[in-house]
Amino acid sequence: LVNLTINGKAVSVPSGTKILEAAKKVNVKIPNLCHLHMDEINMVNQCASCRVCMVSAGRGLVPACGTNVKEGMVVQTNTPQALKARKTVVELLLSDHPKDCLSCDKNGSCELQAIAADLGIREVRFSGEHSTSPTDYSSKSIIKDNDKCILCRRCETMCNEVQTVGVLSGVNRGFNTEVGTFFNADMADTECTFCGQCISVCPTGALTEVNNIPKVWDALNQTEKTVVVQVAPAVRVAIGEEFGLEPGAISTGKMVAALRAIGFKYVFDTNFAADLTILEEASEFIHRLKEGKNLPILTSCCPAWINFIEGNYPDLLNLPSSCKSPQEMFGSIAKNYFGPKVINTDPKDMYVISIMPCVAKKYEASRSELGQGDSLDVDISITTRELAKMIKEAGIDLVNLEEESFDSPLGDSTGAADIFGATGGVLEAALRTAYEWVTDSELENVEFTQVRGMEGIKEASIDIAGTIVNVCATSSLGNARKIMDEVKAGNSKYHIVEVMACPGGCVAGGGQPYHHGDYDIVKKRAAGLYNIDSSKQLRKSHKNPAILALYKEFLGEPYGETAHKLLHTHYFD
């Protein structure tokens, strides 16, 4: 161990520790901007480029994030020199920043804005040259505005090292350096999967989601249209954070009340379709297992993952389940069943709007094969963050609303659906159903804890009526790549693999409230979902009475003809 003092407090840390990390141990906060260290997902962004974390050590100033501790080191974080350097650095960053904070998407959650406020910056003494790059609006999911980029490189580390997609990288030199794409292609024309994880870690407004809020208000204002909204599992345990509630606080009832107050006529639940997905996917799995073909079955509900496999493993497109995602299944049932058969409304007079923790869902909604004819299953998708903005815009006091329930029947779900939002949850939900269907006996303990938790690759072997089924749940595209390389090489022992592109699953989605690198927040959201599940009476998708009624009245058999037409899809290389 190395012994040193930081602001007079003694601390001992392993050799190789950076001053910034050592300071955390003694509760000394050193302001920093570019640095980001998330052990849970194996991400360390350590480029020491912003120089905000300058501290006095020995005779001079050093960046705390990039300097190793030394025996006997005396660190002072708040000397006049350190404060002056820090302020100067932030002023220099601001001198080449648009400073349109009041109308920036990141207003209120920008780390540069927060640091400028913390440091008491009242003027910017330098008036330098300004970067002027065109903003990239090409994709359905992500807006990239290089003029707001501070070159922290967090997005590059995320995209290249965690996701292994490799879309973003520093190009040009000196003042002209920017985070660009290969041959400066528009984002829509790159291999970008739209996972949105770069947005999750961007400290400023350089990477943000495409803003669909105006489209939603417009839909709500068209009185001749019937507007139906669905809410994804992971939203209910995160939306509260935007209103001062604890991460993981279960806000389902208040969120439903807020959606009604905003003006949605039918407030439904993506969870309903998550249960439906399980009936289809478990049927498909059992079918493949019996035939011994097209294994492992890969889950298909994460659109960024589908984008990734289409781009990277085009010869393995026989493996993803043909099931549409719950978002799309919900839209399909809303437009082909609920509209025409329940409320006597033509699908073209309906809007289906989804609230998702995800920015890739915007892109998924726009995929032309996901609909019938010209009518897309889902018309507009917005993120958890966008919903929070709409609630604020409408002046609704979420925290003090009386709780309300989802509308029926497309709002009824089991606990198996709630856990979809955490990595491993889709797999666990599928196992609960597949087990009972194959063994024709009751599964007493429904909790497959081996596939829970933030670990990037989790596996288990389950005995289903004498057949050992090897299962795997993986999150992050880098981990998915490891599993897929094994599958491609013919070395995989798995029968089912769940993949979620975001490390930790949808609870950590690119459209969720910003966690600013604190993965405890993500863990608390996941815990919230498991709590909802364990508090529910019904915890197996195939026991959902509303789903059983839907098959009886409309769909016929799971994995049957109508189900295929409305609930399944195909993939493109």
Q: DSSP secondary-structure letter at 541?
A: G
Report how far residue 465's alpha carbon sits from residue 235's, in angstroms, rounded to the nearest whole number. Answer: 36
Does residue 241 carry a catalytic annotation?
no
Q: Is 208 within 8 Å of 385 (Cβ atoms)?
A: no
Half-sphere exposure of 303 (CA within 13 A, CB side): 26
β-strand partners of 383: 356
Q: Is 19 within 8 Å of 67 (Cβ atoms)?
A: yes
Q: Is 196 within 8 Å of 155 (Cβ atoms)?
A: no
141 binds ligand HC0 per the rule CB under 6 A: no
Strands 54-57 and 73-76: antiparallel
Among 361, 362, 481, 524, binds ligand HC0 (CB under 6 A): 361
Report how far residue 406's alpha carbon sits from residue 252's, in angstroms, rounded to the nearest whole number. Answer: 9
Among 65, 302, 434, 526, binds ligand HC0 (CB under 6 A): 302
Q: Which does 64 bind (CB under 5 to 8 A by kind): ligand SF4, ligand HC0, none?
A: none
Backbone phi, then psi, for 368, in 5-degree steps? Answer: -70, -20
Catalytic residue among 71, 246, 369, 561, which? 369
Among 283, 322, 325, 413, binds ligand HC0 (CB under 6 A): 325
Q: Is 506 within 8 Å of 232 (Cβ atoms)?
A: yes
Report how far residue 65's alpha carbon sits from residue 62's, in angstroms, rounded to the nearest whole number. Answer: 9
**Is 150 or 304 the residue whose CB approaches ligand HC0 more closely?**
304
Does residue 191 carry a catalytic annotation?
no
420 binds ligand HC0 per the rule CB under 6 A: yes
Closest Cα to residue 7, out of 76, 53, 70, 61?
Answer: 76
274 binds ligand HC0 per the rule CB under 6 A: yes
Does residue 103 carry a catalytic annotation?
no
Helix, strand, or coil (residue 502): coil
**Is 159 or 567 the residue whose CB approaches ligand SF4 more closely?**
159
Catalytic residue among 209, 364, 436, 498, which? 364
β-strand partners of 470: 461
Q: Which does 234 bind (CB under 5 to 8 A by kind): ligand SF4, ligand HC0, none?
A: ligand HC0
Catalytic residue among 506, 523, 524, 541, which? 506
Does residue 281 carry a catalytic annotation?
yes
**Is 86 or 523 the residue whose CB approaches ligand HC0 more closely?**
523
Find the shortest distance in angstroms from Cβ 196 to ligand SF4: 5
175, two tokens: 């003042």
Find the shortest distance in angstroms from Cβ 311 to ligand HC0: 19
The 10 Å CB-count burial string (b at 16+, else e) for 159-180 is bbbbbbbebbeeeeeeeeebbb
Catalytic residue among 111, 241, 280, 281, which? 281
Q: Which does 544 bind (CB under 5 to 8 A by kind): ligand SF4, ligand HC0, none?
A: none
Among 63, 296, 409, 421, binds ligand HC0 (CB under 6 A): 421
256, two tokens: 């439903």
Among 63, 196, 233, 510, binds ligand HC0 (CB under 6 A): 233
355 binds ligand HC0 per the rule CB under 6 A: no
Size of the site for ligand HC0 (CB under 6 A): 21
Q: Is 222 within 8 Å of 215 (Cβ atoms)?
A: no
232 binds ligand HC0 per the rule CB under 6 A: yes
Does residue 129 carry a catalytic annotation?
no
Catalytic residue among 49, 139, 321, 322, which? 321
Rule CB under 6 A: which residues touch ligand SF4? 142, 158-159, 163, 165, 167-168, 192-198
Does residue 361 carry a catalytic annotation?
yes
SS3 labels along 182-225: HHHCCHHHCCCCCCCHHHHHCCCCCEEECCCHHHHHHHHHCCCC
Report how far residue 37's alpha carbon sits from residue 15's, in angstroms, rounded to the nearest whole number. Answer: 18
Among 326, 411, 503, 528, binds ligand HC0 (CB under 6 A): 326
**Is 194 or 338 the residue whose CB approaches ligand SF4 more closely?**
194
476 binds ligand HC0 per the rule CB under 6 A: no
Residues in the site for ligand HC0, rule: CB under 6 A? Answer: 232-234, 270, 274, 301-302, 325-327, 356-358, 361, 420-421, 426, 500, 505-506, 509
User: What residues act catalytically?
Assistant: 281, 284, 301, 321, 361, 364, 369, 506
